[in-house]
Structures are given as C-alpha cells and as structure tokens.
Chains A and B, each alone.
Chain A
Amino acid sequence: MIERLSILIVEDNAADRMLLSAIVSRQGHRALTASNGLEAVALFDRERPHLVLMDALMPVMDGFEAARRIKQAAGEALVPIIFLTSLTEGEALVRCLEAGGDDFLAKPYNRVILEAKINAMDRLRRLQETVLQQRDLIGQHNEYLLNEQRVAKAVFDKVAHSGCLDAPNIRYVQSPFAVFNGDLLLAAYKPSGGMHVLLGDFTGHGLPAAIGAMPLAEVFYGMTAKGYSLTDVLREVNAKLRHILPRGVFCCATLLNVSFQRQAVEVWNGGLPNGYLLRVNGERVPLVSRHLPLGVLEPAAFNDACEVYPVSLGDRVFLFSDGVLEAGNKQAQLFGEQRLLSVFADNQKPQALFDEIQQALLQFSGDQQDDVSLLEVSLVEDGQVKRPPLTFSDNGHNHLLDWSATFEFRGETLRYFNPLPFLLHLLLEVQGLRPQGAALFTVLAELYSNALEHGVLGLESSLKANAEGFADYYRQRSDRLAHLTDGFVRFHLRLLPEGGGGRLRLRVEDSGAGFDPQLLLPQPDDALRLSGRGLALVRQLSERCQWGDGEPGVCVEFSWKAGA
C-alpha cells in the first residue's frame, strides 16, 4: 500500500496535462497542475508537492529553469523531478539531469512505466527523508552529549584543579581534555606544612575513565587536610577505587609527600612512567614504578611502601603521564623515554627544563597532544609557600578549656594506626587553638615521629648523615615498625583556662631510652644536615619547650588570649 502523494504536473499541452492527471489520480495520488514553469514554481512554493512531472519545453519559463528553482526551494529534502520529454538526442537528456532532474519519461506516455517510476522515485524520496531525520537525531544527540561533557568537564576541572596546584613551587601543563582522558592532577597542603601531590592516569578514555577522579580527589583532599600520612591516603584511595570501580578500570599514579621543613620527598609510584628527581648538583634520580596501579589489589594485598629521598633547596621533581612518552608524530613514531632523557641531558638551566620539555614535545609532534600531563614540583624554603589557614566547618567550642587526657598507643596499634589525625581533630575542637592549628600539628607530628622513631624503634638519627644512610634509615623504620610488638608513645594533653584565654600543655613520652635533648639544642645551620631539623622546629613553633624537669618526655605549650 503506497502512501498518497501530491504530485505536481507541469505541462503546457492541456490534453497531456489531463491524461497525466488521470493516471496519477488513478494511482491514488493527488494531482496538481501547472501550464508553465513560472506557474509551477509558484505552485510548488504554495503546496510543497512530493514529486514533480515536468515538461521540458514550455512557454514563459521552460522546464530546465523551473527544475533548478524548485530544487533550490526544496533545499535538503529530495523532491524528485521526472522530466517529460519528446527530446531524444542525448545532449537534451543530459540537460534535463543537469538542471536537477532525477529521471525522464519519453512521450508518448506509458501508464505502467509512469506508475513504476513514481513508485521508484517515492522510495528514493523516503530514503532521503529517513537519512535526514537520522542525521538530525544524531546531531541532536551529539549536541546533547557535548553539552553534558562541557558540564562534566567544568565539574572535573574544579575537582582536578582545586587544592594548591597554584602554589609557587608547582608548575604543570595538562592538555585541555586530558582530564577527560582520565588524567588527574591533585595537590594539597598538609596541616603540618608541606604538601601531598598526585599525578594519576585512569585506564580507558572519556567519561568512564574520568569518573574515578571524583572519589579519588575527595579522599585525597579530605584525608590530607585532616593530617593523614601519605600511606594512609594511599591505602584509602586504593581500597575505595577497588571497591567502586569495575574490574579492569584502575588508576596508574605517582604520589609525593613533599616536606619543606624536613627537606624530604616521599614517593610512591604505581604504574606511571619514571618520574625524576633532579638535584641542584645535576644528579638525576629516577622515580620508578614499584607497585601495581591503584584500585587493582585487595586492601590486604596492597603495598604502601614509599621511597624517601633527602632533598635540598632547588631540587626538582618531574612527573609525566604516559601521554608524554606516547605523544606521536606524523610518522607514527612515539616521543619515548630516550628523547625525554636527551632533553634532560641537554638542559643547562634547571629552571628552564620544564619549558624545554614542553618545547621538545611540541616540536616533535607538531601540535598539542590531547593526553599529556606534565608536572614539576620544586623544593623551596618553607616560608615561600604561603599556606592558607586551616578551614573549619563549624566554630569549635568556646568553653572546652578545662580538661586533661592521656593517650597511650602501644606496639600493635603503632604498627597500623596513625594517632595524629585523631589528636589534631580533638585539639582543634578547642576554638582558641584553631588559629595555631598548623603550628600545633607540626609540633605534634615532630614530637610523635621523634618518640616513635628514636624512642620506640630505636633508630639512630646519625644514620641520616648522608643520602644513602637517609634511605637506609627509612627502610629500617618500616622494617622495625612492621615487627613492632611492644613499646608505647604517650600523649598527655592538658587544657587550662587562663585570663579569658587558655593554655595547652602537651607532653609526649615514649617507652624508649628517653628523649635525646641534644636534638633540641640550637645547631649550626648546615644546609647539608639531614637530621635534627624537625626538632629545631618544635622549639621555634611552640611557646615553651621543656624536658628533663622531673617529668619524662618533652613538654610544649601553646597559649592564646581572650577573644583570639
């Protein structure tokens, strides 16, 4: 059953016009008639018929011109034009087609052939209609998808570029849609000073690859702000990604814990290409992937072992996504590690290296790559990095001023539990201590690591006299900690109201041979000294710092005035 069409018949001969009308009507279609080209064009504009039967030679306007105008008016829709012609020579027939005719029918008319041609042309017409509809639908979907991507990208950009990527010691480039290819760059200040930095690369492309960025960023920022260590963050991120991501999606990542005060960088690389620590003296230390990517292993099997490197002012860490090594050129070659290393080798001024790498990439591949993330973190003076004050979601307690508590963390717990976030959280409930939160946390962290490392684990800080010993020190630290069964660290907290303000007295003791007060004495400012830095800080940052006055351990005090 054929759809009823309206068909425009253009013929100057009245008898032919009637004959054609009769054939068309008998076939079940609606016939419109015009006696010359000009009439036909006007009628077409008014009635928009589906198909046109067009005589070639007519007065006023001939069929060729009318066909051209009708085709133009029809636009993208296919309005088939069948030329009716007594012309037989090839050249004339070609003119019909060139004017936009789709077929022709020779006079005298054969009813059967005309009907068949109308049906054939109608099939073509509907095919074109379907194609246009589908094209518009795809266009709509595409528009919709692009819009969703724009919105999602705006959200991802916020997530991926919040934190402290704008810190003066960080430089990075990330190609505009890299985040949409699953690249992720995060940096956040630690409450104790220093920062955590992450460069990640999720498997796959597009939205599915970017989706893991949200939970990862949330864990990273949240835990870092609360004072959790890099290994705590790593374990949590891995567990979370493993739990929520489908199998087969994971995140290759390098995490850095940069401590300006202790002048150390802690590194964990799971699945990213080598990063490099470039020292001021030109030495280049590769930061090698030693772990499976995040989100692959069960929490119990996850390995959070980091490498610790002593660093000094001006040392730089460079991290790369695999998009850097896999940047391609027109000859389908890859940029590769050799080319990257030769940029390192050719470098004269370390501060120019970042630009030189970008330059080399651009020269090699000729245009911007869509999947490139490049990061430089340099070690600067602690004071050069302005930390924003800690932020709080509530006001804290005004009257939490008269209490004391003692916490003792013993062997088994020390192995697995980092008490610092817990203690910080507790102390920062006290409103008056909040403005000093960062200093308080630094002091707490230094006293704790001193108690744990020297007191409980019995490590000698003299080990850290050189870079090799430094690494050895941290190896022994994790070794001994893993086998720890006894020993303790005690925190005595005492809050006292004082003249409208208040005072915190904090004493830290441990089960070891006792506190080494030598470390607290002022020492010559030796830039190469790799130990004792932390405890010098304790003296600087706390209001009063005492030891050996009858009570075991070290006692520090913080106070604040009314209204502070």
Chain B
Amino acid sequence: MAITSLPSLDGQELTILIQGRFDFGAHQDFRNAYESVSSTPQRYIVDLKDTTYLDSSALGMLLLLRDYAGGDDSMIRLVNCSSDVRKILAISNFEQLFNIA
C-alpha cells in the first residue's frame, strides 16, 4: 500500500494516488495525503487505478476527505475505478456523494 499526493502546478487541484489495498491500514497515510499539502486545493481527485481492494473503512476515509474538502460543497472525483471497486462504491450508493468515473 502506498499513497502519493500530487498537487497541480497552480495548487488548485490535488490528486491522491492509492496503490494496493485501500483499507484501515491506509488511514494515517491517506489523511496525511490531503492534510499536509501546503496549498488549499479547490478540487480533489482520488485515483484508484492501482487500487486492488477497497473496504468499508476506506469508504469511511473518503467521507472524511469529503468533510475536510467542504462537505456538500466539496468537489471530489474518484477516477479509474476497477469494476470491483466500482461495485463496492455502488452498493453503498457513494455516487450520491462523489463524482465517480
């Protein structure tokens, strides 16, 4: 499991890349990924292309990010979801809270 955060050049957008298992073990790293950036991004992208697994604690962490990013006013996209990941997100109806692509 590795989590990388990549701010865009203008600092407006933050991409968080999650490799491997996205579960409770990723908790601290995931928080650090958005809390320890110096800019205040307007938009967040969580890139799940290398995410092999996602469990319900990961859903909880996404909710934490959503709260941090402004709750209902947040702009968060979950991109490159595999069909398994997409299914888990769909069961929880997270498309109501996140932009899933």
Contact = CB atoms under 8 A, between A and B. Distances in A.
SS class of chain B's interface: helix, strand, loop or mixed? helix
B38 interface: no
A30 B54 CA distance: 63
Contacts, number: 50
B92 interface: yes
Contact of A203 (B59, B90, B93, B97): B59
A289 B56 contact: no
Given A203-B60, A204-B60, A322-B56, A289 B91 contact: yes
Given A247-B64, A248-B60, A204 B92 contact: no
SS class of chain A's interface: helix, strand, loop or mixed? loop
A227 interface: no
Contact of A247 (B56, B57, B67, B96): B67
Interface in B54-90: 56-57, 59-61, 63-64, 67, 90
Contacts of B59: 203, 250
A252 B59 CA distance: 11
B24 A247 contact: no
A296 B63 contact: yes
Interface in A313-360: 322
Contacts of B60: 203-204, 247-250
Contacts of A243: none
A248 B56 contact: no
B96 A203 contact: no
A272 interface: yes
A273 interface: yes
Q: Which of A270, A271, A289 has the most CB of B within 10 A?
A: A271
A438 B34 CA distance: 55
Size class of A's contact patch? 20 to 34
B56 A203 contact: yes
Given A203-B56, A204-B24, A292-B97, A247 B91 contact: no
A325 B62 CA distance: 22
A270 B91 CA distance: 8
Interface in B34-59: 56-57, 59
A252 B97 contact: no
Interface string A240-252: 0000000111101
A273 B91 contact: yes
A291 B93 CA distance: 6
A290 interface: yes
A252 B93 contact: no
A321 to B, nearest CB: 11
Contacts of A273: 91
Contacts of B91: 252, 271-273, 289, 322
Nearest to B64: A248
A290 B64 CA distance: 22
B93 A247 contact: no
A201 interface: yes
22 contacts: A201-B56, A203-B56, A203-B57, A203-B59, A203-B60, A204-B24, A204-B56, A205-B57, A247-B60, A248-B57, A248-B61, A250-B59, A252-B56, A252-B91, A252-B92, A270-B93, A271-B92, A271-B93, A272-B91, A289-B91, A290-B93, A322-B56
Given A205-B57, A249-B60, A292-B92, 20 more contacts: A201-B56, A203-B59, A204-B57, A204-B60, A205-B24, A247-B63, A247-B67, A248-B61, A248-B63, A250-B59, A252-B91, A271-B91, A272-B91, A289-B91, A289-B92, A290-B93, A292-B94, A292-B96, A292-B97, A322-B56
Interface of B: 24, 56-57, 59-61, 63-64, 67, 90-94, 96-97
Which 5 residue pairs spanning A and B have beta carbons closest together?
A248-B60, A271-B92, A203-B56, A248-B64, A203-B60
